[in-house]
Amino acid sequence: MKNLLLITALVAFVLTSCTSGGQKQGGEARGTGLETTEVAIVYSADTLYAVAESFLDQPITVKGFVTHVCSHAGKRCFLTGVDQKYTIRVEAMEELGSFNKELTGTEVVVDGVLRERRLTRTEIDDMEKDVNKRMEDDEEEGAAEACQAELANINEMKEWMQERGKDYYAIYYVEGLSYRKAGD
């Protein structure tokens, strides 16, 4: 009976991942001027991190809410999912141009290539030394809290590395080739 349930669940998973797991995209995507008709899996900003290592340097589609557009030329924006657990940076490539500042708070779908920036253990140790030095030197109000927050982030990076047996901390980002508002 358990085997039958397992097989049924496995078959259901395979069928849904091959058919309904994708989201048909249609319409003109900003940045390319091309009509998109292919079927692609659209990852949310919250779920992308679970599969990111498998999609490095490959085309990917990510959906999320714009939390920030960099004010200097709009060449970068940040997306988060509904759960707001993770944030992913999107770099506007030449094909895309730039992100409009009015996108903040809007749900968008970005087509691009997933990339990784690795922080080495040495870089992280240097960051920690710098923060500790600033904490000793800085008497400005609120500086200690800011330093504590940075140290907490550094400790999370170290824990991530230890849990995965890595000698680096991975920072994932998307080289954005096109984007559109979700639902368009």
Q: Tens digits of per-residue pLDDT, 24-56?
A: 333 334 443 333 434 467 888 888 888 898 899
Higher pLDDT, 9 or 64: 64
d(CA 68, CA 36): 27
Range of the domain at 98: 2-119+167-181
Q: Is pLDDT at 10 greater than 50 in this prediction?
A: no
Q: What is the pTM of this model?
A: 0.69
Total residue length of the chain? 184
Nearest Cα to Cα of residue 118 among 71, 159, 167, 69: 167
57 with 22, same domain?
A: yes
Q: What is the pLDDT of residue 141?
A: 64
Q: What is the pLDDT of residue 29?
A: 42
Q: Is pLDDT at 1 greater than 90 in this prediction?
A: no
CA atoms within 13 A on the CB side of 83: 7
Strands 76-80 and 42-44: unpaired
For residue 74, the domain's CATH number is 2.40.50.140
Residue 53 contacts residue 137 (beta carbons within 8 Å): no
Number of structural domains (the chain) is 2
At 86-109, the pLDDT tens digits run 889 999 998 888 888 889 999 999
28 with 17, same domain?
A: yes
